[in-house]
Amino acid sequence: MNDKSVQTIADIARLAGVSKSTVSRALSGSPLVNEETRERCCAIAAEHNFQINNAARSLSMKQSHTLALVAHAYHHKECYSVTDLFLLELMGAISGALSANRYDLLLASVDPYDTQWPHQYLDTGRVDGFILMTSTRKQFHIKTLVEMKAPFIVWGTPLPGFSYCSVTGDNLMGGRLATEHLLRSGRRRIAFVGGPANEFEVQKRYEGYESVLREAGYKIDPELVSYGEFSGPSSAERVAKLLKKSVTFDAVLTNSDLMAISAINVLQENGRRVPEDVSVIGYDDLSIAQHNSPSLTTVRQNLPLVGKLLAKNLVDYIQTGIVTNVTVPAELVIRKSA
């Protein structure tokens, strides 16, 4: 299967009766090779199941054809927030799109307070660029990367004043779609159980929520609006508080599917039926959304597409230097919970 006699392009060159240079060109699809010669070289390579040596190629070309997905090390202890489930679902899409572009995906677990990590991966020639998630998008990380001219792409809205690649969900639209759906189904007291107040994405979703209500002639009740983490417990706690304070509400608009699931659990424990008494809407549409009981009505972020764009646009940037900032549309998926 793997042929011990054919390990390098020199072996192929010998068999094909040409020089190493020619074999190298043939295998890399250079136009500087006679078609017939190219075919002969490729045939021999295929026949012997030849695989080009990656280190030699990287050393010579000064690029590794590897990208790092940056995850924060503290996520790997005990606590997995929504971002991590999100990360997993995204990882596959990224990895798939990357291999289509002949790139590999390295998993980089970095200390969130360390600023040296980019050097460890970039200066070693270990990777050609980074993919950052919203959770890793601390300002100082971005700034470090920009300063060292590291190629990278970010999932989330780009920081104003900096130029770099990004893929963002349409959070304003997401907030609008969810709110419109609730209004349409007769809900009037909609609690906004948000993620961190300082996250731009969260602010946009709130903006969508607020604008739809305002346009429909309703006022926002500040009692119904809260911010916290994207996690289930954070959501559960706030829904419980609403119940305890006897605030009336007939819908909960959360900022992640995990938050929605936890909200539903708390409501049910307190004798509220979902969606009969209270509608609950999630965000992301992770696979758990359809497996929950009741299944989640949620705003889909289209992770397969997001992953593909993250991979493709970073590779393009590395190869061409063109900065892209794209926004992926939000889509409402209606199931049982609202």
Partner DNA sequence: CTGAAAGCGCTTACAG
Number of residues that bind its own copies (CB under 8 A): 63
Residue environment code for 188-215, b if the CB has 16+ CB neighbours within 10 A, otherwise e:
ebbbbbbbbeebbbbbbbbebbbebbee
d(CA 328, CA 168): 6
**Closer of 84 and 316 to its own copies (Cβ):** 84
Q: Write out the two tokens for 157.
A: 């809205």
Q: Which of 10, 32, 43, 148 binds its own copies (CB under 8 A)?
A: 148
* Residue 99, number of CB atoms within 10 A of its CB: 12
263 near 239, Cβ under 8 Å? Answer: yes
Q: Which of DNA, its own copies, none is residue 287 near (CB under 5 to 8 Å by kind)? A: its own copies
Q: Which of its own copies, DNA, none is residue 211 near (CB under 5 to 8 Å by kind)? A: none
Looking at the DSSP assignment, which residues form a beta bridge with residue 326? 167
Number of residues that bind DNA (CB under 7 A): 29
Q: If you write DSSP's letter for every residue of 93-143 in order, what string do you get?
A: HHHHHHHHTT-EEEEEEE-TT-S-HHHHHHTTTS-SEEEE-GGG--HHHHH
CB of 61 to its own copies, least distance (A): 9
CB of 44 to DNA, least distance (A): 13
Contact flags string 246-265 toward its own copies, x per CB under 8 A: ------------x---x--x
d(CA 247, CA 280): 16
Q: Which of 39, 43, 47, 59 binds DNA (CB under 7 A)?
A: 59
Answer yes or no whether residue 52 interacts with DNA by CB under 7 A. Answer: yes
Task: Please give the angle made by the CA atoms of 326, 106 and 6, to the nearest 5 degrees.
Answer: 120
Q: In what order do the strands lie in the sheet with 297-300?
A: 225-226, 190-193, 251-254, 279-284, 297-300, 331-333
Of the candidate spans 95-103, 156-164, 213-221, 318-326, the one that interacts with its own copies by CB under 8 A turns out to be 95-103
Answer yes or no whether residue 53 interacts with its own copies by CB under 8 A. Answer: yes
Q: β-strands 251-254, 297-300: how paired?
A: unpaired
Q: Which of 39, 43, 49, 53 binds DNA (CB under 7 A)?
A: 53
Q: Which of its own copies, DNA, none is residue 334 near (CB under 5 to 8 Å by kind)? A: none
Per CB under 8 A, contacts with its own copies among 156-215 are none
Q: Report helix, strand or coil for 193.
A: strand
**Closer of 38 and 137 to DNA (Cβ):** 38
Query: If you compute the radius of gyration of the chain from its CA atoms, what whole number of angstroms results?
Result: 25
Q: List phi, psi (to 5°) of 109.
A: -95, 110
Q: Which of its own copies, DNA, none is residue 78 near (CB under 5 to 8 Å by kind)? A: its own copies
The strand ranges marked E within 177-227 are: 190-193, 225-226
Answer yes or no whether residue 266 interacts with its own copies by CB under 8 A. Answer: yes
Q: β-strands 331-333, 297-300: how paired?
A: antiparallel
Q: Which of its own copies, DNA, none is residue 265 near (CB under 5 to 8 Å by kind)? A: its own copies
Q: Which of 232, 250, 272, 314 binds its own copies (CB under 8 A)?
A: 232
Answer yes or no whether residue 19 interacts with DNA by CB under 7 A. Answer: yes
Answer yes or no whether residue 10 interacts with its own copies by CB under 8 A. Answer: no
Q: Which of 126, 138, 335, 336 binds its own copies (CB under 8 A)?
A: 126
Task: Please give the angle made by the CA atoms of 295, 298 and 299, to the nearest 5 degrees.
Answer: 155
Q: Which residues bind its own copies (CB under 8 A)?
A: 1-2, 7, 49-56, 58-59, 64, 66, 69, 71, 73, 75-80, 84-85, 87-89, 91-93, 95-96, 99, 104-107, 109, 116, 119-120, 123-126, 147-148, 232-233, 236, 258, 262, 265-266, 268-269, 287, 291-293, 304
Q: Which residues bind DNA (CB under 7 A)?
A: 7-10, 17-22, 24-25, 27-28, 31-35, 37-38, 52-53, 56-57, 59-62
